[in-house]
Amino acid sequence: LMQTIRDLQEGRPLGNVAWVQDSPVLSPACILPVTFSDKPRMEQHSSDCPQGPHFTKSDLSLLQLIKAGKEGIFYKARMTRGTCKGHEMFTCKIAKEGVTPKTIHLYFYVLIMEFVSSGTLRSFLKNNKDKLTPDPELQSLFTIASIHIALAMEPLRSKMVVHCDLALRNIMVNRFPWEVKVAEFGLARDLTRVRSYRSSRRKNPRERVPLRWYPPEYFRNNYYSFKGDVWSYGIVLWEMQMFGTLPYSNLETSESVVYYICAGYKNKDPDGCRPEILQIMRDCWTEPYTSRPSFTDIVRILENIMENDAVSNLPSNLPSTFFYLVFCDC
């Protein structure tokens, strides 16, 4: 991870991925970017993850489809020989235009990441809604997951990276709510390599963006900054409370979604959402965008909420002396 961050800071290409101006940055969660080929390597196979950037098709076994998106496909995969940095099981993202779950081309880029057992947070919540809904601690669980997502986003600001695709479908779950990971950096931008925060995607209509998660300033002024990710984070909190419901689900066309967002309309408040989280959502959707909190602010707010939860959950019959520390020489 630190090596990846250093590469981003110093403008070096990652692995053998073609690096051009304004090319999307790779996920900081990736272990190794590689090129995938069906041609056998001449060098001897190592018992650990290969030091070079090449794998053969026989090196990886794709076991299960985790997520299929516009930027790539996530598979549960296993090394057929040896391990990759000690991991035999991992998540493999196949990223190339035209790749579908039914068709795997011979040459494409692959990201090898830590394996997550529960798939995306959206699918996890949809599949476990009946089990989670009666849980009296549900809002506390959502708060824990929310702070982990905010903690994952917080360092990006100091690295001058905007995610541009923060959504519930792009958060992977290993153990809910304590192990959730932000993924899918296919639309991310390294702002140290661009001249302005104004998006270049309107000049290239083939580069599609997730409109339902984007802030109004993008549609009005073609502008996306770190506070755009904060807006998307508010949408993620709403999705979580709604167990993966599509934002603005009553709107069917892209035009109506853009109009709705620019007109200042918001998603309906989720039933049962705790007031503190509801307030964070509203803060994330504040206009102008300069009034929105940073992820550092959000982390601090969520930490205070969790501390209050911990205090309120203490047994009421504890003696008053429990709250004092007594120091003595033994």
Task: Catalogue the active-site residues.
Answer: 165
Q: Nearest-5° angle of CA 259, CA 260, CA 265?
A: 145
Map the chain to HEC letters.
CHHHHHHHHHCCCCCCCCCCCCCCCCCCCEEEEEEEECCCCCCCCCCCCCCCCEEEHHHEEEEEEEEECCCCEEEEEEECCCCECCECEEEEEEECCCCECCECCCCEEEEEEECCCCCEHHHHHHHCHHHHCCCCCHHHHHHHHHHHHHHHHHHHHHCCEECCCCCHHHEEEEECCCEEEECCCCCCEEHHHCCCCECCHHHCCCCCCCHHHCCHHHHHHCECCHHHHHHHHHHHHHHHHCCCCCCCCCCCCHHHHHHHHHCCCCCCCCCCCCHHHHHHHHHHCCCCHHHCCCHHHHHHHHHHHHHHHHHHCCCCCCCHHHHCCCCCCC
- β-strand partners of 108: 36
Distances (CA, A) of 189 to 4, 18, 28, 81, 88: 14, 15, 12, 35, 31
Distances (CA, A) of 190 to 19, 173, 186, 292: 12, 26, 12, 21
CB 227 within 8 A of CB 200: no
